[in-house]
Amino acid sequence: MTRMQEMSLNYHFKVEQEFGSSTHAFFGFNGTAGVWRMAAINEAGGWKDRTTVEDMDLAVRASLKGWKFLYLGSLKVKNELPSVFKAYRFQQHRWSCGPANLFRKMIYEIMMNKKVALWKKLHVIYSFFFVRKIVAHIGTFVLYCVVIPASVWIPEVEVPVWATVYIPTVITILNAVATPRSFYLVVFWVVFENVMALHRTKATFIGLFETQRVNEWVVTEKHGDASKAKSAITHQQRLGLKLSDRLLVLEFCMGIILFISGCYDLAYGKYYYYIYLYLQAIAFVVTGLGYVGTHIPNS
């Protein structure tokens, strides 16, 4: 699970942050390893707790005031990642729900802003928010977990090759290039990201429509301390004995649906979707049974 997170985060930092910094002098502040001018924070209105992404909120408001951001990729800092899947799910819910909710709250303010150029406003609205924070999550889940299985059961639904193979392949390669040492894991990364797309899509809709969990804040559990790691291992070993404690019903059910769709495609289909459907079904079932991120190696 750590390698999967590494691939996603490397793309985020090496591509998204670098691009935003070099072209528009703006990127979403990640909350750590950053230096702020007090004048920028004060002029932007200070920290606000209206969403679960207060760091991104501050960055957008400061940018609308005309402040410029500089990303220094040459500086290296240590970063601790969630080591158990439950913690990672909570983190991804916050990271998906918060930006969508912030987009809802700030889109009018961004459009009406007079201090920044039109191209920068278009970048923030379209590229930063709409494409990366909303469409990327929903589009991934809908295509791979809804449209492709539906095309198996409903022959009238035809998905063009460019949508199922060419474009996803290019996107996958571009993401994997940022982490060459893990390129051999790219297939695992794809199916894992599709599993997470289920939660990110749900969280995105929660943020857009401001439903009950919109401001849910669960501190991401991490085990950097050696003593904590030891107790965490013991805890995970206990969980391993009880399926009911680690079963994730949503993922498990999704895996069963995809597996049945794969069997149907194997028997009656003609586009070999079953190869993907079986792989994705395994990923959902393994995740649903709680076998992802349950082992914390000794350091």
User: What confidence category does residue 77 fall into, taking pLDDT thresholds of 50, 70 and 90?
Assistant: confident
Q: Is residue 296 pLDDT above 70, yes or no? A: no
Contact 270, 244 (CB under 8 A): no
Query: What's the pLDDT at 79?
Result: 84
User: What confidence category does residue 227 fall into, taking pLDDT thresholds of 50, 70 and 90?
Assistant: very low
DSSP 184: G
Query: What's the pLDDT at 5?
Result: 92
- Pair of tokens at residue 32: 């750590």
| pLDDT tens per residue across span 17-38 | 999 999 989 999 988 889 999 9
Q: Is residue 232 pLDDT above 70, yes or no? A: no
- The answer to which of 105-119, 176-190, 225-239, 268-282 has the lowest mean pLDDT is 225-239
User: HSE-up of 235 (CA within 13 Å, CB side)?
Assistant: 12
Report the C-alpha gap between 142 and 147 in whole angstroms. Answer: 6
Report the C-alpha gap between 131 and 44 in whole angstroms. Answer: 25
Sequential DSSP letters for 233-250? HHHHHHHTT-HHHH--HH
Mean pLDDT of 164-188: 88
User: What confidence category does residue 139 fall into, taking pLDDT thresholds of 50, 70 and 90?
Assistant: very high
Could you tell me how many residues make up the chain?
299
Number of Cβ within 10 Å of residue 253's Cβ equals 13
Task: Name the average pLDDT for the chain.
Answer: 89
Residue 140, Cβ density class (10 Å: 0-12 exposed, 13-18 middle, ≥19 buried): buried
- Pair of tokens at residue 88: 């990672």
Report the C-alpha gap between 30 and 174 in whole angstroms. Answer: 22
20 or 171, greater pLDDT: 20
User: What confidence category does residue 198 fall into, taking pLDDT thresholds of 50, 70 and 90?
Assistant: very high
Query: What's the pLDDT at 168?
Result: 87
Look at residues 1, 200, 182 and name the one whose alpha carbon lies nearest to residue 81. Answer: 1
